[in-house]
């Protein structure tokens, strides 16, 4: 009898673990097909050969759980509801002297596929173990297979020797103010305007700062790196090289002094859209939205896209990606994280459909929803 009960419980638990879901439930624990909570924070997504792939930071319990002790995870799905764990796509190193050693910061990983080289390229925001966020570097890894393993290429400060193309001749001729070299920046408010500090000129020799970031591949195959820079005060958009492993040197500054974090970028009907956040650390804030006729602007802000209860804190979440739904016209999902700094592994995922009022993207809370909302 005991053996029968044990067998029943084992089989029943298996049925629960592998039960298929057909709805999104924002803010609730989301289990993979083996019945384990999905561990892919600050995520990025790639659709490749009929399958979606979700890459994200692997968190562990405890206050330092957001540091990179394991690496970057990969999950796969054909329906967006049910995700299979593909394992660790990119591993941190055990060698203390390595730039991606355990305890480093590997944040907001994004993967894109290069049609010419047939390589999968991963980028992330990187900081060296024990140095907080002061390094503000970009990291790159590459793989022949979508789920990895990804091989480390380098971490670096980008665009050394280049200046943004959309700055005035007057600014280019001005000297860098002493304050830009000596002020104790903390990633928050600036004492004067971002433009007057010329922080992009300050960093021309060592490269530009990279913090919260995303990648975007346009219809023509050109790829772009979008990242918070200049002590978090200003967003940069930089064109990647043909192999996606570096830059062409063409980049521009946008939203100067607006402290745009958590950038997301997507394209709809030939126009470009962003949903970003303010810069308040772990604490959620009002999202910001904007659109432009070209990726190089001019960018026009719409304000907070969130409507309803808790809209002032973007439903207690911060965006990380806008996911186009394949096979449905103008169907986009706002993918966000609900951070938990006391125990980062318990951070939850908030996925919401994006609707539009004219050109303005709109987010409304839903306890549960499915893809039929786009029909």
Question: Could you state, in chain order, the average pLDDT of each consecutive group of 10 residues for the chain (375 residues)?
Answer: 35 50 96 98 98 98 94 98 98 92 96 98 95 92 98 98 96 94 91 95 97 98 98 98 98 97 98 97 96 98 97 98 97 98 96 96 98 97
Contact 344, 366 (CB under 8 A): no
Token pair in block for residue 218 = 């346009």
Question: How many Cβ atoms sit within 10 Å of the Cβ of residue 132?
Answer: 10
C-alpha span between 39 and 88 (Å, rounded): 10
- The pLDDT value recorded for residue 26 is 98
The whole-number pLDDT of residue 18 equals 52
pLDDT of residue 19: 67
Q: How many domains does the chain have?
A: 1
d(Cα 90, Cα 139) in Å, to the nearest integer? 12
The three state secondary structure string of 210-227 is CCCEEEEECCCCCEEEEE
Please say whether the dihedral angle defined by the alpha carbons of residues 179, 177, 168 and 164, taken in this order, is positive or negative: negative
Q: Does residue 247 belong to any structural domain of this protein?
A: no
Tokens, residue 146: 């979508």
Specify if 333 maps to a domain. no
Q: How many CB atoms lie within 10 A of CB 130?
A: 9
3-state secondary structure of 357: strand
DSSP-derived secondary structure for 164-202: -TTS-HHHHHSPPPHHHHHS---SS--SS-HHHHTHHHH
Return d(Cα 4, Cα 9) in angstroms, integer: 9
pLDDT score, position 21: 85
Q: Which two tokens mark 153?
A: 């290429």
Would residue 148 count as lying in a domain? Answer: yes
In a domain, residue 336? The reply is no
Domain that holds residue 92: 21-156
Cα–Cα distance for residue pair 158/163, rounded to 1 Å: 11
- The pTM (predicted TM-score) of the whole model is 0.94
Per-residue tokens: 251: 């980049």
Exposed/middle/buried for residue 164 (C-beta within 10 Å: 0-12, 13-18, 19+): buried
Residue 124: give its domain's CATH number.
Answer: 2.115.10.20
Is there a domain that residue 298 lies in?
no
What single string gives the DSSP state of each residue in 316-342?
Answer: T-EEEEEEEPTTSTT-EEEEEEE--TT
Q: Which pLDDT score, from 0 to 100, does residue 9 have?
A: 34
Task: State the CB neighbour count (10 A cutoff) for residue 111.
Answer: 28
> Is residue 61, in this structure, part of any structural domain at all?
yes
Any domain includes 53: yes
pLDDT at position 20 is: 84
Q: What is the pLDDT of residue 3?
A: 38
**Tokens describing residue 21:** 């879901």
Q: In terms of Cα–Cα distance, which of 332, 320, 327 is closest to 50?
A: 327
By DSSP bridging, strand 306-307 and strand 360-364 are parallel
Tokens of 349: 């995922």
**Distance from C-alpha of 40 to C-alpha of 72, rounded to nearest angstrom:** 7
The predicted pLDDT at position 7 comes to 32
């Amino acid at each position: 009898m005991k053996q029968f009960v044990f067998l029943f419980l084992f089989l029943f638990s298996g049925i629960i673990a592998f039960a298929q879901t057909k709805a999104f439930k924002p803010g609730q624990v989301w289990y993979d097909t083996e019945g384990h909570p999905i561990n892919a924070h600050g995520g990025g997504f790639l659709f490749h050969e009929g399958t979606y792939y979700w890459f994200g930071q692997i968190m562990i319990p405890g206050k330092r759980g957001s540091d990179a002790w394991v690496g970057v995870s990969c999950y796969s799905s054909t329906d967006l509801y049910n995700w299979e764990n593909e394992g660790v796509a990119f591993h941190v190193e055990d060698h203390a002297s390595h730039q991606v050693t355990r305890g480093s910061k590997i944040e907001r990983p994004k993967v894109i596929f290069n049609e010419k080289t047939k390589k999968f390229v991963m980028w992330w925001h990187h900081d060296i173990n024990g140095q907080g966020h002061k390094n503000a570097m970009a990291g790159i890894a590459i793989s022949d297979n979508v789920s990895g393993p990804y091989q480390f290429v380098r971490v670096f400060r980008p665009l050394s020797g280049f200046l943004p193309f959309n700055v005035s001749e007057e600014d280019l001729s001005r000297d860098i103010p002493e304050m830009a070299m000596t002020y104790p920046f903390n990633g928050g408010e600036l004492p004067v305007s971002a433009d007057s500090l010329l922080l992009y000129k300050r960093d021309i020799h060592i490269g530009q700062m990279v913090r919260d970031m995303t990648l975007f591949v346009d219809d023509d195959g050109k790829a772009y790196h979008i990242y918070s820079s200049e002590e978090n005060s200003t967003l940069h958009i930089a064109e990647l090289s043909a192999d996606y492993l570096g830059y062409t040197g063409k980049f521009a500054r946008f939203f100067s002094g607006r402290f745009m974090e958590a950038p997301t970028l997507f394209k709809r009907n030939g126009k470009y859209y962003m949903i970003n956040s303010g810069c308040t650390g772990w604490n959620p804030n009002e999202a910001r939205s904007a659109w432009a006729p070209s990726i190089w602007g001019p960018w026009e802000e719409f304000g907070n896209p969130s409507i309803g209860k808790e809209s002032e804190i973007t439903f207690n979440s911060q965006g990380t990606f806008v996911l186009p739904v394949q096979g449905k016209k103008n169907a986009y999902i706002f993918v966000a994280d609900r951070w938990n700094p006391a125990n980062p592994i318990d951070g939850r995922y908030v996925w919401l459909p994006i609707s539009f009022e004219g050109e303005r993207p709109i987010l409304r809370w839903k306890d549960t929803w499915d893809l039929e909302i786009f029909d």
